[in-house]
Structure 1
Amino acid sequence: MDFTDVSLTALRVFRAVVEQGTFTAAAAALGYTQSAVSRQIASIERTAGAELLERRRDGVRLTAAGRVVMRRATVVLDEIDATARELSGLPEPGGTVRLGWVPSAGTTVVPYALAALRHSDPNVHVISREGGTPALARALRAGSIDLALLSSAPPFRAPDGESPPLALETLTERALCLAVPAAHPLARGDFVDVADLRGQRWIAGSSSGADGLMGVWPGLDDRPEIVHTARDWLARLHLVAAGCGLTTVPSSLGPAAPPGVRILPVRGGPQEQRRLLLARLPRPPAEPVVRLAAALRAAALGTTPDPSPS
């Protein structure tokens, strides 16, 4: 097999498919047609002489050969990207860290950590992006991000079933809470009883896929009435402030709630905890990654990171 004929475009398409999880999603992310993506993947598989992606009903998964190609492709693409950064005058490649984060981390942990890092380690350059936990886990596997802040709910399973397992660290574990309009009858007390959630109107976080009921209290024994959907946390909270319904929020979002919203605990039924996880591939991290990880831990704890190397 001769990989000298494989183009950088084909390698980028391959990484995008692995990261996005489907040919369709990769095509949308890259601005290509699905047939163009399929052709690029077919060309790499012909060169490799092996199937690199297992096509499944729920998306694609790397084969053993695919993991080898993905590991090598990541090295090549990272070097090309680093060269482009150097030529454009950005910081040295060793000082760049790519971070992914779930939306709930974007209101507190991420901005606080980046602000602290600018003072403690101004030469560490962070490029970040928001995403869902499954997409960010795929991005770690694909090598397009170095660190990720992921969310986890009971029974707290690993974010993916790939091998080797991701290196995971729990930064916070806090109770799920309820955002209630200040004028709502449920806002009169210091907590909400789970039995009083039957028949309420809900503002959900997504209208499709596995996150279809995000924003609705888990385990309700009636069919929830979802009146609004909004991906953005702040948009959901402003809809609550306008009296449009209830939504669930991590307790850490309390300080971000606008006027007219009460953040209350829920009593009765199973305790609903949510974890914020720091995730990376299971290999020794580069020093800039270590620095950012320290800043994220400190921000999650509400402290100032130790400037000394760990």
Structure 2
Amino acid sequence: MDFTDVSLTALRVFRTVAEQGTFTAAAAWLGYTQSAVSRQIAAIERVAGAELLERRRDGVRLTPAGRVVMRHATVVLDEIDATARELSGLPEQAGTVRLGWFPSAGAVLVPNALAALRRTDPALCVVSREGSTPALVRALRAGSLDLALLASAPPFRPPDAESPPLVLAALTERALCLAVPATHPLARGDFVDVADLRGQRWIAGSSSAGDRMLGVWPGLDERPEIAHTARDWLAKLHLVAAGCGLTTVPASLAPAAPPGVRILPVRGGPQEQRRLLLARLPHPPTEPVTRVATALRTAALDTDTPAWRLPSS
């Protein structure tokens, strides 16, 4: 086999398919047609002389040969990106850490950790990106992320069943909260009773599989009325501020809530706990990765203030 015939485009497409989990999602991410993605994957598999992606009903997964190719492809692509940065005149970095985070972690935790790192490790470069927890896990497995902040809900199963297991550290575990318009009757107290959630209008996540009811209080004994759907957490909170409905939020979002929103705990019924996990592959971390992980742990502790103790807007 002669990998000199493999283009950088094919390597990037291959990495994106592995991270996104499906050809369709990779095509949307890259702005390609699905047939163009399929052609690139076929080309790289032809050169490899082996199937690199296992096609399954729920998406694709790297084969053993695919993991070998992905490991080397990541090195090549990272070197190309580093070369581009150097040629553009950017100062050489003391180390680069690739961090992934689920959407709400980008509101408070990630900015706070990066601000601290700029003070303590100004030469350290952190390259970060947002993604869903499944996509971030795939990116860790593909070797294109060093660390990932993941969200976990009961029963707190491992984020995937692949081997070897990811190294997981729980940074926080807090109860899920409710975002309520400041003018809403439920905003008058210091908490919301779960029984009062019946008949409310909700602002939920997108209708894609896996997050259809995201934003609705779990376990409601009725079919909820979904007034609005939005994927972005900030859009949801501004819809709450406009009086359009209620939505669920992790307690860590309380400091970022816009005026006109109260973040309150819910009493009664089972507690809806949420964990913030820091994940990496099970090999010894580099010193830069360790420093970033420490900054994230510190930021998580600093922001771990119960939402209902914060001043309301």
- TM-score, normalised relative to structure 1: 0.93
Q: Does 1:234 align with 2:234?
A: yes
How far does residue 132 in structure 1 lie from its aligned partner after superposition?
Answer: 1.1
Task: Kindly indicate whether the alpha-carbon contact (under 8 Å) linking 2:67 and 2:142 is maintained by their aligned counterparts in 1.
Answer: no
How far does residue 232 in structure 1 lie from its aligned partner after superposition?
Answer: 2.0
Task: Kindly indicate whether the alpha-carbon contact (under 8 Å) linking 1:171 and 1:300 is maintained by their aligned counterparts in 2.
Answer: yes
* Alpha-carbon distance in 1 for matches of 2:217, 2:137: 25
Matches within 5 A, 1:259-278: 259-278=259-278
How far does residue 235 in structure 1 lie from its aligned partner after superposition?
Answer: 1.9
How far does residue 91 in structure 1 lie from its aligned partner after superposition?
Answer: 4.0
How many pairs were matched up? 303
Q: Deviations over 1:129-182 (max 9, x none)?
A: 111111111121222222111111011112222222221111111110111112
Corresponding residue SS for 1:179: strand
Corresponding residue SS for 1:37: helix
How far does residue 260 in structure 1 lie from its aligned partner after superposition?
Answer: 2.1
- Which amino acid is 2:237 matched to? L
Q: Deviations over 1:243-299 (max 9, x none)?
A: 111100111212222222221111122111111111112112222211111111111
Corresponding residue SS for 1:111: helix
Q: Deviations over 1:27-58 (max 9, x none)?
A: 12222221111111112222222211111111
Q: Does 1:24 align with 2:24?
A: yes
- Which amino acid is 2:11 matched to? L
* Alpha-carbon distance in 1 for matches of 2:12, 2:25: 14
Task: Kindly indicate whether the alpha-carbon contact (under 8 Å) linking 1:150 and 1:278 is maintained by their aligned counterparts in 2.
Answer: yes
How far does residue 81 in structure 1 lie from its aligned partner after superposition?
Answer: 1.8
Q: Deviations over 1:95-144 (max 9, x none)?
A: 22221111211121111111110110000011211111111111212222
Matched residue, 2:212: 212
Matches within 5 A, 1:237-248: 237-248=237-248
Matched residue, 1:77: 77
More divergent stretch after superposition (48-57 vs 110-119)? 48-57
Task: Kindly indicate whether the alpha-carbon contact (under 8 Å) linking 2:94 and 2:123 is maintained by their aligned counterparts in 1.
Answer: no
- TM-score, normalised relative to structure 2: 0.92
Task: Kindly indicate whether the alpha-carbon contact (under 8 Å) linking 1:177 and 1:264 is maintained by their aligned counterparts in 2.
Answer: yes
* Alpha-carbon distance in 1 for matches of 2:251, 2:283: 32
Structure 1 gap segments, 5+ residues each:
304-310
Matched residue, 1:146: 146
Corresponding residue SS for 1:84: helix
Q: CA RMSD in A?
A: 1.6
Matched residue, 1:129: 129
More divergent stretch after superposition (98-107 vs 113-122)? 98-107
- Which amino acid is 2:152 matched to? S
How far does residue 86 in structure 1 lie from its aligned partner after superposition?
Answer: 2.0
* Alpha-carbon distance in 1 for matches of 2:238, 2:249: 13
* Alpha-carbon distance in 1 for matches of 2:103, 2:41: 31
- Which amino acid is 1:130 matched to? E
